[in-house]
Structure formats: structure tokens, C-alpha cells
Amino acid sequence: MGNVFILQWKRLMKHPLVVVMFLGLTILFVYFMGGSQGSSSINVQVYSESLTKEELNIWIDRLNKDDSIIFEATDYETVEEEIRMNEIGYAMEIGAETYQFLVGREDERLPVVDQHVNQIFREQVRLETVRADFPDSEIEVREFLTVEGMTQPEDSGTLNRYQLSILTGMTFYFAMFTILYLQINVVEEKKKGTWNRLIFSPLSKTQIYLGLLSHYFLVGLVQIAIAFFILTNLLDLDLGTNYVSMAAVTLAFIFTIVSLGMLISALVPSPQSLQVVIPIVATSMAMLGGAFWPLDIVDNRFLLFIAEFIPIKHGLNGMVDAIYSGLPLSQLLQPIGILLLMGILFIGIGINLMERVSNV
């Protein structure tokens, strides 16, 4: 096992372009994506179909009494386009005495915004009622009780669930690419016939497979660890301290992807075919598994059913629950168990097919 493991690392050192490229893509994406998600303030686009521009600006001034929520005036066409392109999750329409939200995707910050707006509207309605009852009196609003709260600074990097899902999903996506592309070496050895010579060498098959799989496993683990190191240290984003749960989900996900690579390597006939298959498999799995967008916005039941068989979906859900919700390991047994079951099935079928090819 040790000899095979060291041999794979020597081979990687001679041709490190693939790993360096995907590691670089991971770092760049996580750095720029994570850096753009660091603000803790909430921006809300506001438009009106019935109010004039001056009346809308008056409402904007009333709503912007809280610095943590920033309301910006816009128009319906701009809002519709931004929601359609998934640039914003929701916007608010204001009328003379009512308001409503135009929602494109679920956002956990929406109830906070709704509560704030509802409070402002209720206060304004009460003022208008009192002014109508006492038209000759001057009504003045005074604060008799002030509550001071502690908020995190804007550079603290607190991520919401959607942002965390995208960052984690893309980290897993690039790690999947790296692991699968490394296994092109196995297909090349099958094509050249060196795989059969390796199988019939004094090394046992268990040592050979463990040496190969542990190499791919460690490379994927290092890549994900570097990405999370950038998130926590260079970008100052808070990923919590639930390290046991995070590590368990990550290890289970990497094991599943390594096993999937072994299965794909056993099925494809040539390295060129594998180079075509890998982008299709990795990208489609990332799309269906929620790495590019949250599955909450998907209404198609068939696609949601397929997503249940995608490893990245369960790895992503487990990681987000571990970081965002702080769930202990005992409450993450379902996604971890599903990943391990998938990995066992993949590697069992893959090694069986590899052995059949070797015997032929």
C-alpha cells in the first residue's frame, strides 16, 4: 500500500497541472465569492406602482431608521430582471397604506425585513389616526425607552444559509473535479496494459486499491481544507467551531466521490472518454445537487427526486447544517450514512468491474 501511495504522489509531483489548476479555481472562487458576501447589512429594493417619486422617497426615509436594513428606491422593471437573474431574492412594493413582497427565492432575512416594515407601517397608521382625531393639535413622537443591542461588525463575515450553501457547494464541486481527473491515470494504465502487470505483481490487490484510493482521498481532503482555511482566516468568515461534524461530512463526501471515480474509471474505455465524461457528470451533479443554486427554488418533483441520488446534495446539506445550524454529529447521521452507503455501492461495483476487465 505504501509503495503505491508514494508512487502516486511522485507521479503527481511530475504533472501537478490538473491539481494546481482546480485548486487555484477553488481559491479564486472562494476568495472572491466569500469576500463579496461578508456584509451583514440587509439591502432591500423598493418600488411603487401607485406612489409618486417624492412619496416613495418619503417612505424610504421612514424605513431607513435602522442602519442594519437599507432600503433603496428602484422601479418594477429593474426588480423583475434582478429577481429573474437570481441577483436578489426579493423586493418590496409600497402603496399608500399597504406593502407587499415580490419573492423570487426563500430568504431567512425576509421575516426580519417584514417585521421592521410592519412596525413602521403600524406606527404611521397610528399617527395618521391620531392626527385625524386631533386636527388642531401638533403631534410629536418621542422615544421614552431606548434599547441598545450588540451587532456584529460589517466585516465579521457572517454568512446566511444561502450564501454558505453556494460557497460550500462550489468548494465540493471543484474538489470533485480534481478527484475524478486524477483517476485518469487508472484508465491510462488499463489502456496501456500496465494495470494488469500491477495486479499480478507481488503486491496484494487490497494494497493496490488502498494505495490508490488513499492518494485520491488525501488530495481531495487537502483541497477542501485549503478552501475552508481561506474562508476562516483570510476572509474572516465565521464557519463556527463544529469541527467534528464538519470533518465527518467532508470525509464521507470525499469517500463517495473517490468511489464514484473508481466506478466511472471502470466503465469508460479510454482516457479521452473519461475527459469527456467527467465535466458532464460533475457539472450535472452540481446542478442537480444544489451547488449552483438552492434546491428550494426548484419546483419540479422529478428533479428533486433525482437530487436524492446525488452525493453532493447530501454532502452540502450536512455541511450547511453542521456550520449554520451547529448540529452535532448524532443529528447528521442521515446525510453521512447516505454518503457512506453510496460510496460502498460505487466502490463495490467499480472494483468488481475493474477485476472483470483485468481477468479478460
Report pLDDT for 182.
82
Mode of pairing for the β-strands spanning 90-94 and 69-73:
unpaired
In this predicted structure, what is the pLDDT of residue 157? 45
Q: Which three cell numbers stand for residue 130?
A: 391620531
CA-based max dimension of the chain? 102
Spatial distance between the Cα atoms of 342 and 252, rounded to a whole number of angstroms: 10
SS3 at position 115: helix
**Is the model more confident about 130 or about 56?**
56
Q: What pLDDT sits at residue 150?
A: 47
Per-residue pLDDT of 144-198, as tens digits, reads: 455 454 444 444 345 567 777 778 888 888 888 888 888 887 777 777 666 666 6
SS3 193: coil
**pLDDT (0 to 100) of residue 341:** 95
Instruction: Give the residue-averaged pLDDT of 249-270.
Output: 89
Residue 128: pLDDT band with limits 50, 70, 90: confident
Q: Give the position of cell 486524477.
A: 182
User: Given this model, what pLDDT does residue 225 score?
Assistant: 87
- Provide the sign of the torsion angle of the four alpha carbons 53, 57, 63, 69, taken in this order: positive
Higher-confidence residue of 327 and 231: namely 327
pLDDT of residue 149: 47
Of the spans 51-65, 219-233, 338-352, which averages the highest pLDDT?
338-352
Beta strands in the chain (DSSP E): 42-47, 69-73, 90-94, 99-103
Question: Quick one: pLDDT at residue 253?
Answer: 93
The answer to whether 317 and 174 are in contact (CB under 8 A) is: no
Q: Helix, strand or coil for residue 134?
A: coil
What are 266-270's contacts with CB under 8 Å, separation 24+? Answer: 266/349, 266/350, 266/351, 266/353, 266/354, 266/357, 267/353, 268/187, 269/191, 270/187, 270/191
**Which residues are 103's β-sheet partners?**
90
What pLDDT score does 156 carry?
39
Q: Kindly tell me if the per-residue pLDDT of 308 is higher than 50.
A: yes
Q: β-strand 99-103 against 69-73: which pairing, if any?
A: unpaired
pTM to 2 decimals?
0.66
